[in-house]
Amino acid sequence: MHVHRNVQESYVMARVMRQRHLYQRNFTLKEHGSWEKAEAAAKRWIKAFVPTLPPKVPREGRLTKRNRSGAVGVYRSPGIRAKPNGKVYYCPRWVARWLGCPLRGGLSWSVKQFDEEGAFVLAYLGLKKKSINRTELLADFDSIFGTEEYENICALKKM
């Protein structure tokens, strides 16, 4: 898994990445005699070294530099649809995705129907509740519309 052969340079490389830091060690054929022995030594090193590393940081809920919406798990889709006849339609939407979401592409809300802020807030509410029940989410949206909570959610949006 973390072991790779470098045939050109005649060594086996063991690599582990943890919290954006790379840990690497090379096991040469000259030192170990064969590919199998070098790989076995690399695997032993990995097995002994990995428990000493800090724990993995879960990806879910982590704000990365690639995030453009300001809310983790919510993104804006241009919604470009090309029909078989050649016509292209634009249906921009805000989409909420989370681990275990039953909808393959995530829960989306049309910008044309709910405007930019409304669609963003609906996607954000769907993500926070981890719910795809549109009726329930629309009722929650209606209950917070115009309130401070609604404004706070809108303030998250960067775009």
Residue 156: which region, alpha, beta or left (left: phi > 0; alpha: psi -120 to 50)? alpha
Which pLDDT score is estimated for 61?
A: 66
Q: What is the largest CA-CA distance in the chain?
A: 72
The tokens of 45 are what? Answer: 């090193």
* CA distances in angstroms from 76 to 19, 58, 117, 137, listed in the order given: 28, 23, 11, 18
Q: Is 20's pLDDT higher than 90?
A: no
Task: Say whether 24 sits in a helix, a strand or coil.
Answer: strand
pLDDT digits (tens, 9 = 90+) for 58-111: 666 666 666 677 788 888 888 888 999 999 999 999 999 888 889 988 999 999
Looking at residue 157, its pLDDT comes to 77
- Provide the pLDDT for residue 47: 94
pLDDT above 90 as % of the chain: 64
Apex 37 CA angle, 34 and 42, nearest 5: 125
Q: Is the pLDDT of residue 34 over 90?
A: yes
Cβ neighbours of residue 83 under 8 Å, at least 6 residues apart? 89
pLDDT digits (tens, 9 = 90+) for 111-135: 999 999 999 999 999 999 999 999 9
Who has greater pLDDT, 2 or 41?
A: 41
pLDDT value of position 62:
67
Q: Which residue has the higher pLDDT, 57 or 51?
A: 51
Q: Where are the domains of the chain?
A: 3-52, 74-156
Task: Determine the pLDDT at residue 94.
Answer: 92
pLDDT over 70 percentage in the chain: 91
pLDDT at 14 > cutoff 90: yes
Q: What is the pLDDT of residue 144?
A: 94
